[in-house]
Amino acid sequence: MAEGQDQTPPVPIEGDDDDEVTPGYKTPKQVDLKTLQELDQDDESLVKYKEQLLGAASNVKDDGGPNVLLQKMIFAPVDHAPFDLDLTGDLTKFKDNPIIVKEGCQYRILIQFRVQREIVSGLRYAYSVHRKGIRVDKNNLMVGSYGPKTEPHEFKSPLEETPAGLIKRGTYVVKSRFTDDDKHIYLEWEWAFEIKKDWE
């Protein structure tokens, strides 16, 4: 997970196709934070808007490493306590310890992350779901563009529903990736959930 010129090319999530993600979308030109703050100084409303958007960007905590630091993923069912996955530690344990999920439950995925130095545009959360080695679902969600902030930002996915029925029960592996418009991969991880008749 390097940054800048040393960035390795992204490993595509099986079936990933950028053209189908957002037709007509063009990546904005990269502008550093200082230049952005100095632009349009004569436009009072724009200056106020940038102050509100960027806040105290010069006082943001910088832990080093990539510009975007992922901290936590939360699997948040509507009718059950959420399951937290710490994205700062050992990511390999998630695949071997599936979350037990009731069939047909509605849920959201929440991702908490920090932006440290520069505004990042076009953050995306892409994932593909596999069962017995076969891809059964995929999605590429626009997270948005964010400025530097010491407190974490939180992305909340649209409401989804787990499969239901005897034939749909079993273990599913999710291959996840968090990227931006410049194809920087901030984190890739795999996690698993097991669909059962009930929460046990």
* Three-class SS state of 41: coil
Within the chain, strands assigned E span 68-77, 83-86, 99-102, 106-115, 120-131, 134-146, 149-156, 160-161, 170-179, 185-196
Q: What is the pLDDT of residue 83?
A: 97
Q: What is the pLDDT of residue 174?
A: 97
Q: What is the pLDDT of residue 68?
A: 94
Beta bridge partners of 124: 142, 179
Q: Kindly give the parts of the chain with pLDDT less than 70.
A: 1-41, 46-58
Cα→Cα distances 125→33, 134, 189, Å: 24, 20, 11
Query: Residues in the chain, how many?
Result: 200
Q: Find tokens 């998630």 and name the residue.
A: 94
Q: What is the pLDDT of residue 44?
A: 74
pTM: 0.75
pLDDT in tens, 152-170: 999 999 999 999 999 999 9
In the chain, % helix, strand, coil (3-state, to 5) comes to: 15, 40, 40
- Rounded Cα distance, 144 and 137, in Å: 22
Beta bridge partners of 149: 115
Q: What is the pLDDT of residue 36?
A: 57
